[in-house]
Amino acid sequence: MSLYGVMRTGVSGMNAQSNKLSTVSDNIANVNTVGYKRASTEFSSLILKSGSGNYDSGAVETTVRYAITDPGNLQFTTSTTDLAVQGNGFFVVQDTNGNNFLTRAGSFVPDNSGNLVNTAGFQLMGYNIQNGAAPNVAANGFGGLQVINVNQMALQASPSTKATVAANLDPSAAVVATPAAAAGPGNYTSKTSMVTYDNIGNAVTLDVYAAKTGANTWDVEVYDPSGAALTTGPSAATTFTFDVTAAGKGTLAAASTKSLTVAIPGGSGTFNIDLSAMTQVASSFDFKATVDGNAPSAVEKVNIDDKGVVTAVLKNGTELPSFQIALATVPSPDHLTPEVGNVYSPNLDSGNVQVGLAGQGGLGTIQSGALEDSNVDLADELTSMIEAQRGFTANSKSFQTGADLLDVVVNLKR
């Protein structure tokens, strides 16, 4: 046995306990950090081969592990842009240099440009789904991702292109006096209106007239605010017939027209009115329409659902889905490399990043109005601190004993 070896072993033990104390200190410092994952120090021995009758002391080395897959508790807030992942997955974020990272820290707020950023300054990434576009997901990389901006849809007009109608025409109504004439202001059985939007967001009211021209037969025409007809009738394109047999039960006949197509004044292209759900049953006239498009308006608030769809709610009440948040994972999350700002980057041990959408491909869902707490248990950390302190003290005693014995050997010469 070498006294120098005893001292070196004691030093390695003190270094190992110092490393443990460092991870404990880091955990305690971040006990209230959103999305923080605790670090732990694992010990492994280095044994030296010893000859017969003597023992050569070795050393101890440490490896730092991160409990990244261990979820923290959810803390609910009043902000809809505070986000937490329930289950597997990480938010994809970007720094100011355009580098992508993974994080569970979801305390996002809009900056002065409307970009969603967390407390460390990382921007939330997602897919643009404005105008009904489907997310273009690149499963094995960050391609197609954009910084989520909640102000992009503000003060932008969207022209109306379609309406879906649920209506009922009264079968007891009398046939109009001039059934050969088109339905209009001077010739109709029932009349209603719906609001549409032109290219620059002006509200355009369309008047819809329905005239009963015969048994189970109606002419439906659309007029603009000036009283000009936008449809050309009566014709087969504006004639609706109903099947009142036991099979049809007052729904549109198979050969009947199912929709109307008109041009909104000031709008681009055509406006399609889907009337396929219209009925003629024993009830009074009823007309309900859902129309797309919107007038320009500022964003009042942002809603985010469990699939990560970011919807801008405008001050005029219009809801505009604009982005879908991306989630990502790796084969071995606990081997991710921690970076400054409570983010992680992939490496060879963690495996390649796989990107997807919430609720798909094994990824978790997104909880809006909640944050994931740190997974640090303060009681455990204080216990580990005492263990590290005791271990360091014991290793220092073995070092001191070796040094005292070395002094005895040196003093033998005197």
Please report the DSSP string for 241-278 in residue order.
Answer: EEE-STTTTTEEPTTS--EEEE--TT-SS-EEEE-TT-
Residue 74's pLDDT is what? 94
Task: Name the CATH code of domain 162-291 (choices 3.90.550.10, 2.60.98.20, 3.30.230.10, 3.40.50.2030).
Answer: 2.60.98.20
pLDDT in tens, 292-304: 888 888 888 889 9
Residue 50's pLDDT is what? 64
Is residue 53 predicted with pLDDT exceeding 70? no
411 close to 30: Cβ distance less than 8 angstroms? no
Mean per-residue pLDDT over the chain, rounded:
89
Residue 349's pLDDT is what? 93
State whether residue 220 is helix, strand or coil. strand
Is residue 96 predicted with pLDDT exceeding 70? yes
pTM of the model as a whole: 0.70
- Check residues 126 and 235 and name the one with the higher pLDDT: 126
Percent of the chain whose predicted confidence (pLDDT) is above 90: 61
> How many other C-beta atoms can be found within 10 angstroms of the C-beta atom of residue 276?
13
pLDDT in tens, 318-340: 788 889 999 999 999 999 999 99
Sorted by sequence, the CB contacts under 8 Å of residue 355 that are 6+ apart come out as 92, 137, 138, 139, 140, 141, 142, 145, 326, 327, 328
Residue 291's pLDDT is what? 93
Residue 405's pLDDT is what? 82
- Check residues 119 and 53 and name the one with the higher pLDDT: 119
Sign of the CA dihedral 26, 32, 33, 36? positive
Report residue 153's pLDDT band, with 50, 70 and 90 as the boundaries.
low
For the chain, residues classed under CATH 2.60.98.20 are: 162-291
Residue 343's pLDDT is what? 95
**Residue from 128, 113, 126 nearest 83 by CA:** 126
Rounded to 10 deg, the angle between the 378-411 and 3-29 helix axes is: 160
- Check residues 225 and 108 and name the one with the higher pLDDT: 108
3-state percent breakdown (helix, strand, coil) of the chain, nearest 5: 15, 35, 45
Residue 1's pLDDT is what? 54
Is residue 348 predicted with pLDDT exceeding 80? yes
